[in-house]
Amino acid sequence: MLEEASKRIRERILAQLEGAPARTDSELRSLIEEEVFRFSESSYLTADRKWKLVERVFHSFRGLDILQPLLEDPDITEIMINSHEEIFIEQNGAITRVEGRFDSKEKLEDVIQAVVAKVNRTVNESSPIVDARLSDGSRVNVVLPPVALKGPTMTIRKFPSKPMTMIDLIAKGALTERSAADLSRLVECKYNIFIGGGTGSGKTTFLNALAGFIPEDERIVTIEDSAELQIRTIPNLVGLETRNANTEGRGEITIRDLIRSSLRMRPNRILVGEVRGAEALDMLSAMNTGHEGSISTGHANSSIDMLSRLETMVLSGAELPLAVVRKQIASALDILIHLSRMRDKSRKVTEIHEVLGVEDGEIRLNPLYLYEERENGTAGLVRTRNPLLHVRKLEHASMKLTEGEEL
């Protein structure tokens, strides 16, 4: 009913605005309120429905239409638009369908163009896929027909205005206090860390929280496809973001380009939001050439799988023997962390491994923390009895990790 009422009121407003002087936001809102009250005389509406109707119509003129209230809702973390008639949201880990819809495919296309125009990106039939971000940092992916079969498609990954800290993650049960304390020591002592996990497992959020342990007097360079990190504890911070090629196929700036450029910026550490391809070799090289304490993320189903994927990424951009690639990975990375999305939709740290080196042609891992489900139905991150073997960096700072205790 709300959608039909919205459409009828919008048509009335359009008729009044045609040929009339431009209205301010307050004037437009007053005009909409009048029409809503007039409409409610023949169709009963509660006070709440009236307010929603005013907002819906107003946003269709001046905001992002039905998207506006979804973007303003802090509990919504993902908005998935499959077509102008089909919208889903993720809220508190659960995915549900939104009752509303865009008035037409053309209206959705207008909203998409408004979004990408704000960040100087272009999307059209000749370039139907684009990644962008909103002013609040939300990540946007757009796919247009003919690639998208149902019609224009847009996915928005929202990020909180206040980034989550490690304390917040502990409160949510993502990891334990002791494991967080150990990770803080590893970060402070400049262990190179790689975070793996599936889509939506919270890799970027966790990287952001880990960055909170970096000493404030260091210079950090962040490199991302779409800027998502919200590091607020480091004064000497440089953020770099990739750029797509223009309509003529020129001007592209890749993560590889940015990593190479960052080496000339005198960073203490480099944080790469996510590696997906050949840039993995550049990231590993940076870790091996004096930029200790660097952190990055990647998609994988486990820590073992992350190593295999890193090998594939490196080999996609360089013709190197596999043995050389494995040695490069093992010498660059100190710690592997794996995040998982659980059955109850929560996100947790499920593995923390130390990278020991190459033995018999394989990269050896030393499990420090593993997520275990017990017979009594409880589950949690458990400290194994394995000590950290590469302790040079910790010893220099007179620190050590906890050993052999359940958490």
Q: Is 80 exceeded by the pLDDT of residue 62?
A: no
CA angle 132, 168, 395 (to 5 degrees): 100
Q: 377: pLDDT confidence band, cut at 50, 70 and 90?
A: low
In angstroms, rounded to a whole number, what is the distance separating the alpha carbons of residues 150 and 153? 8
Strand bridging mode 362-373 / 76-83: unpaired
CA nearest to 199, candidates 98, 332, 71, 80: 80
Give me the pLDDT at residue 138, please. Answer: 82
Backbone angles phi, psi at 121, to 5 degrees: -110, 155
Q: 124: pLDDT confidence band, cut at 50, 70 and 90?
A: confident
Query: 381 vs 139, which has greater pLDDT?
Result: 381
In angstroms, rounded to a whole number, what is the distance separating the alpha carbons of residues 106 and 203? 35
Q: Is 70 exceeded by the pLDDT of residue 337?
A: yes
Segment 180-229, tens digit of pLDDT: 999 999 999 999 999 999 988 999 999 999 999 999 999 999 999 878 88
Q: 3: pLDDT confidence band, cut at 50, 70 and 90?
A: low
Segment 289-330, tens digit of pLDDT: 889 999 999 999 999 999 999 999 999 988 999 999 999 999
How many C-beta atoms lie closer than 10 Å to residue 362's C-beta?
11
Distance linking the first and last C-alpha atoms of the chain: 52
Q: 407: pLDDT confidence band, cut at 50, 70 and 90?
A: very low
Backbone angles phi, psi at 90, to 5 degrees: -110, 125
Are 312 and 278 in contact, with CB atoms under 8 Å apart? no
Domains in the chain with CATH codes: 1-62 (no CATH), 65-159 (3.30.450.370), 166-396 (3.40.50.300)
Give me the pLDDT at residue 19, please. Answer: 67
Give the contacts of 381 (CB within 8 A, at least 6 positions apart): 175, 176, 179, 348, 349, 350, 352, 369, 370, 371, 407
pTM, to two decimals: 0.80
Q: Please, where are the H alpha helices in 318-390?
A: 322-332
How many C-beta atoms lie closer than 10 Å to residue 150's C-beta?
13
